[in-house]
Amino acid sequence: MSDKIKFEIEFVIQSSPQMLYQYLATPSGLSEWFADNVNSRGEKFTFIWDGAEEEAKLLKRKTDEFVRFAWEEAEDNSYFEMKIIVDEITKDVSLFITDFADDDEVEESKMLWTNQVSDLKQVLGSS
């Protein structure tokens, strides 16, 4: 199995960190933009798209700052993280995504995140 490549992308989001965090860390918030439905039981999150389910474990979180998940079927140390960064001077809020993909799928993964975050911006009224 080839090693996945870590990539990072940043999106400016017009939202308070507190409101944005609710959409990143709660099943109801994630259901509004990331997946069709999201359920959680403790650290285990079930993401549902078009009837297909993917399990992820919540690895870390810090309120109003970031969440980090790992897909259950991942056989490596890959994860995806959504971090909220606030510029100290301008107070602009950015969503910083860290994810992993196979070499030939990095651009496709970035496009997928761009589309997902576009949905998030619409939900937040930030587009």
- Tell me the pLDDT tens digit for each residue of 92-104: 999 999 999 999 9
How far is Cα 13 from Cα 84, in angstroms, rounded to an integer? 9
What's the confidence (pLDDT) of residue 75? 83
Q: Is the pLDDT of residue 127 over 70?
A: no
Provide CB contacts within 8 A for 112, sequence distance 6+: none
Q: Is the pLDDT of residue 5 over 80?
A: yes
Classify domain 5-125 by CATH number. 3.30.530.20
Q: Which two tokens stand for residue 86?
A: 């606030």
Distance (Å) of CA 118 to CA 43, 53, 64 = 26, 22, 20
Tens digit of pLDDT for each residue in 17-74?
Answer: 999 999 999 999 999 999 999 999 999 999 999 989 999 999 999 999 999 999 998 8
Sorted by where each begins, the domain ranges of the chain are 5-125
How far is Cα 113 from Cα 104, in angstroms, rounded to an integer? 16
Query: In 1-127, which residue ranges form alpha helices assigned H by DSSP?
Result: 17-25, 27-31, 106-124
Percent of all residues in the chain with a pLDDT value above 90, rounded to a whole number: 91
